[in-house]
Amino acid sequence: MYDTDGRKYLDGVSSLWVTTFGHRTPEIDAAIIAQLGKLDHSTFLGATHTPGIELAEKLLALTPGLDKVFYAGDGSSAVEAGLKIAYQYSVQSGQPRPLFVHLSEAYHGDTLGAVSVGGMKLFHATYRPLLLKTATVGSPGLRAPGQTPVERAAEVIKELEAVMAAQGDQVCAIVLEPMVQAAAGMLTYDASFLRAARELATKYGALLMVDEVATGIARTGPMWAHQHAGITPDLLTCGKGITAGYLPLSAVLATDEVYSAFLGAPEKTFFHGHTYTANPLACAAANANLTLAVERDLPGQVAVLGARLADLLKPVGDRDSVVEIRQLGAMIGVEVANVRHRTGFEVCRAARKRGVWLRPLGDTVILMPPLTLGEAEQNLMVEALAEAIDEVVR
Ligand code: PMP
């Protein structure tokens, strides 16, 4: 990226975690232009179009266990749709269940439904009186000093068991970010928690909804982060990297079982749709992006990228000025010591002076580079970060 003075930056956070291949990808540019020559926009309400059908097929081919796609506009509105689907599913299955279970520290977007299942005090506390009914369990990623990820997962599994034992028949869905709570500062957690959430949702007749808006499209390695745990969710939300950052588009993926509850009578329909749902240009961008993701073996590339970045970051993590590095694939949070107000912000500003664009989440500096970042750029990114930390955190 270049600023208005022509200074060059390496974008180490993929804009807001979206530019899969970096800024501008010739194949995606061409796909959008080709689509523009055919159809600019056409409503998806009660109608369909070729790029939308093609994208649904591509998404489902990448997602064993899920069978249907419902489009939305951005991550928040996909979550909103997923919550409504989960509740309506319970109604149409014969027992309305008005309660959602979610994790503390969660972030699922800024609309009121998404805020209801969020747990970040700064963003969410003000709206509590307006929100849906929820039960919160602790973040499996927030470990006490000396505690292992498995021990912390076991603690939160107990909490979840207790919530479900007490109120499970009221719960329509357990909603969570799989494997890593991103906006909370890349709080990674053990796969055993995800497996337990799957089992408990099934045991109590609730749905498991995984929010893969941040983690999807190979960001953590496998195409979806829930695949680390070998589970299948009932609902999956995705957005962000789905169009490689070109245009807004998101989706909810669901099982045939969930979908079938919406058939058979007009009043069973899921009445939810926005003007720009499944915009054809966005679908064309997403189709080209997913084609490249498969052709270029993004999961394989992220495995290599993640391992190399982990090696490069080791000496950074050894510094006294760094509290912890949390990483899953190409999602990385470097938590720096809180030496004064806005330390993380200052570290990012110091990195920017060195030509690397990063963003903080509190005292955690986020590295979410394009998934095809070359070795020289990886070196530049980590060197700039190390120098910035040494300059600021003293
Ligand atoms: N879910 C998760 C896990 C996210 O990280 C985000 C955005 N950071 C959202 C939902 C909301 O997406 P959007 O900003 O596109 O509405």
Encode pLDDT of 34-63 as tens digits: 999 999 999 999 999 999 999 999 999 999
DSSP structural state of residue 73? S
Question: Band of the pLDDT at 394, cuts 50, 70, 90?
Answer: confident
> pLDDT tens digits for 83-122?
999 999 999 999 999 999 999 999 999 999 999 999 988 8
CA 110 to ligand 1 centroid distance, Å: 8
Residue 328 has a pLDDT of 98
Selection from 125, 103, 106 nearest residue 174 by Cα = 103
Residue 12 has a pLDDT of 98
Cβ(76) to ligand 1 under 6 A? Answer: yes
CA 5 to ligand 1 centroid distance, Å: 31
Cβ(18) to ligand 1 under 6 A? Answer: no
Residue 123 has a pLDDT of 86
Q: What is the DSSP string of 322-375?
A: EEEEEEETTEEEEEEP--STTHHHHHHHHHHHTTEE-EEETTEEEE---TT--H
CB 278 within 8 A of CB 286: no
> pLDDT tens digits for 323-371?
999 999 999 999 999 998 899 999 999 999 999 999 999 999 999 999 9
- In this predicted structure, the answer to whether residue 65 has a pLDDT above a threshold of 90 is yes
Residue 125 has a pLDDT of 87
Residue 204 has a pLDDT of 98
CA 108 to ligand 1 centroid distance, Å: 5
Question: Band of the pLDDT at 209, cuts 50, 70, 90?
Answer: very high
ipTM associated with this complex: 0.99
Residue 45 has a pLDDT of 92
Widest CA span of the chain, in angstroms? 66
| pTM of the shown model | 0.98
> pLDDT tens digits for 255-308?
999 999 999 999 999 999 999 999 999 999 999 999 999 999 999 999 999 999
Q: Ligand 1 atom closest to Cα of 16?
A: 8
- In this predicted structure, the answer to whether residue 235 has a pLDDT above a threshold of 90 is yes
Residue 121 has a pLDDT of 86
Question: Band of the pLDDT at 318, cuts 50, 70, 90?
Answer: very high
Selection from 296, 356, 386, 368 nearest residue 329 by Cα = 368
Ligand 1 pocket test target in 79, 80, 186, 213 with most atoms within 8 Å of CB: 213
Q: Mean pLDDT in the chain?
A: 97
Cβ(185) to ligand 1 under 6 A? Answer: no
Cβ(105) to ligand 1 under 6 A? Answer: no
